[in-house]
A and B are shown apart, each in its own frame.
Chain A
Amino acid sequence: AQSVTQLDSHVSVSEGTPVLLRCNYSSSYSPSLFWYVQHPNKGLQLLLKYTSAATLVKGINGFEAEFKKSETSFHLTKPSAHMSDAAEYFCVVSDRGSARQLTFGSGTQLTVLP
């Protein structure tokens, strides 16, 4: 069985400061891990994915995430927040590779303050 825990339901940062969204996972197999972003009235968009290559994964819009097997974590970071980053972020695990069945976390709402 696979599961994802997003440790913060809401994160608030000031524009220009770092962003950290925390995610822990549980998987019976070698997992694939993803971060998706959901802006209001828009579809889910893939930010980045980890599929057993480099443990530090770079995504779009300056986001990156590090896979730490010993800590079963896949935290999302960005050095400097932008107003346009305000959205809901989902950490996602799949332990069958590709996207046969994705298990989503409950989401983290990111607010960026001016």
Chain B
Amino acid sequence: DTGVSQDPRHKITKRGQNVTFRCDPISEHNRLYWYRQTLGQGPEFLTYFQNEAQLEKSRLLSDRFSAERPKGSFSTLEIQRTEQGDSAMYLCASSLGQGASGTEAFFGQGTRLTVV
């Protein structure tokens, strides 16, 4: 396994279009996270899955954003009716854990979204 994989690496879209990103976590990892990073800032938490269950969502995740992890493996993040403010790097991470314990998060290289 080569780590967390994200696709596509870059996406340019017109304002108002829908986009979908995919994340493939490290195969045995049961936890999956989405973060968003804008220029000059640290990543901000968006949402978290334990297996297929979405357990936490940030208030940053507006109703235009939806994330799924249908079989507890890969995950998708969809943004509907994109806005210029959605332009950012979208990062996926995974970890292995139970309860309050677990490994650290391993990050993918991200998908850079540009809304024009």
- Report A's interface with B, CB cutoff 8 A: 4, 34, 36, 41-46, 49, 90, 92, 96-107
Contact = CB atoms under 8 A, between A and B. Distances in A.
A98 B101 contact: yes
B107 interface: yes
Nearest to A34: B104
Contacts of B102: 97-100
Contacts of A92: 42
Interface in B57-109: 91, 93, 95, 97, 100-109
27 contacts: A36-B107, A43-B4, A43-B107, A44-B91, A44-B93, A44-B107, A46-B106, A90-B42, A96-B100, A97-B102, A98-B104, A99-B31, A99-B33, A99-B93, A99-B102, A99-B103, A99-B104, A99-B105, A101-B48, A101-B56, A102-B33, A103-B45, A106-B40, A106-B41, A106-B42, A107-B40, A107-B42
Nearest to A46: B104
B25 interface: no
B105 A102 contact: yes
Nearest to B108: A43
Interface of B: 3-4, 31, 33, 35, 40-45, 48, 56, 91, 93, 95, 97, 100-110
Contacts of B4: 43
B98 to A, nearest CB: 9
A109 B105 CA distance: 21
B113 to A, nearest CB: 16
A103 B44 CA distance: 7
Contacts of A104: 35, 42-44
A44 B102 CA distance: 18
A25 B53 CA distance: 30
Contacts of B93: 44, 99
